[in-house]
Chains A and B, each alone.
Chain A
Amino acid sequence: MALVPMHQGLLLAGILFALGLVGLLVRRNVIFMLMSLEIMLNAAGLAFVVAGARWGQADGQIMFLFILTMAAAEVSVGLALVLKIYHRFKTLDSDAVSEMRG
């Protein structure tokens, strides 16, 4: 279908992953950190699909399905935690919850 060289697809995945990493490291709002995690998971899935398309196998798409499942599970638990943090600390600052009390 497309005649795009493989390294350009992988490069797009790498750029998106790096952007997600920068967002995760810089932002302090917990919601933005979760969004950056989604960007990184999506970029990893993109790399799998690129590799699957390169060799014409369906395995890369299967891996993307598993990543999708994991992202959905992770984000549901993460957002429930965000609601809990906001109700307890009245803020979404990740520094506010950096100290654990047993």
Chain B
Amino acid sequence: MEVVFYIAAIVAITSTILAITRLNAVHALLYLIVSLLSVAIVFFVMGAPFIAALEVIVYAGAIMVLFVFVVMMLNLGKKATDRERQWQRGSMWVGPSVLAAILIAEIAWLVSGPGNAVYGSTAIEPKQVGIVLFGPYLIGVELASMLLLGALVGAYHLGRRAPEKTEK
């Protein structure tokens, strides 16, 4: 099972790098879906099968389909790709990459200290998650429902075609 974790981690990092460097939006989205699926494998290895299923269904399914639909509606074409290539010179990646590398080195130094135990040997089943979710975290569930309602109303309001009389 450890080997599965390492392979999935390498696939996740590689496909994420490819996703943030592609010029074509659809190619980047497909790499991002691969990355999310490999993170789902990592969740499964870590004993979180419920979260792995949710990652596939909600992240790789619903959210990415939303991205694909919007990219299809926009119809960016070759001009946008050329302009993006013009912006993506090599020197542009140096500053952010160095800063992020410093941060990741700090995190690696902090978490690789002594006293790291290994995981327990039990998986956390969906039933256990549900009992905790609708017990101590009930307020959080209600707040999440209000957040989703707000997002629904907001997205409808923004995406709505403007009425005729307010255009001019």
Give A residues with C-beta under 8 Å from B: 1-12, 14-16, 18-23, 25-29, 31-32, 34-36, 38-39, 42, 46, 49-50, 52-59, 61-62, 64-66, 68-77, 79-84, 86, 91-93
Per a CB cutoff under 8 Å, which of B66, B92, B100, B107 touches A75?
B66
Q: List 15 A-B contacts (CB under 8 A).
A: A1-B45, A2-B5, A2-B45, A6-B119, A11-B112, A12-B12, A18-B103, A25-B95, A28-B84, A62-B129, A64-B54, A65-B133, A79-B155, A80-B155, A84-B158
Instruction: Report how far A20 CA is from B28 CA in the complex, Å.
Output: 13
Q: Which residues from chain B contact A81 at a C-beta distance below 8 Å?
A: 158
A4 to chain B, nearest CB (A): 5
Residue of A nearest to B95 (CB): A25
Known: A27-B88, A58-B132, A70-B147. 9 other contacts (CB 8 A): A12-B12, A38-B59, A52-B124, A53-B48, A62-B140, A69-B147, A71-B63, A74-B151, A77-B155
- Interface residues in B144-158 by Cβ distance below 8 A to A read 144, 147-148, 150-152, 154-155, 158
Interface majority SS (helix, strand, loop, mixed), chain B:
helix
Give B residues with C-beta under 8 Å from A: 1-2, 4-5, 9, 12-13, 16-17, 19-20, 25, 28-29, 32, 35-36, 39, 42-43, 45-48, 50-51, 54, 58-59, 62-63, 66-67, 70-71, 73-74, 76, 80, 83-84, 87-88, 92-93, 95-97, 100-101, 103-104, 107-108, 111-112, 116-124, 128-129, 131-133, 137, 140, 144, 147-148, 150-152, 154-155, 158-159
The reply to whether B1 and A26 form a contact with Cβ atoms under 8 Å apart is no
The reply to whether B108 and A14 form a contact with Cβ atoms under 8 Å apart is yes
Q: If the complex has contacts A31-B67, A72-B63, A86-B74, are A6 and B117 also in contact, measured as CB distance less than 8 A? A: yes
The reply to whether A4 and B117 form a contact with Cβ atoms under 8 Å apart is no
The 8 closest A-B pairs by CB, nearest first: A23-B20, A73-B151, A80-B158, A7-B111, A18-B100, A25-B96, A14-B107, A80-B155
Q: Which residues from chain A contact B117 at a C-beta distance below 8 Å?
A: 6, 54
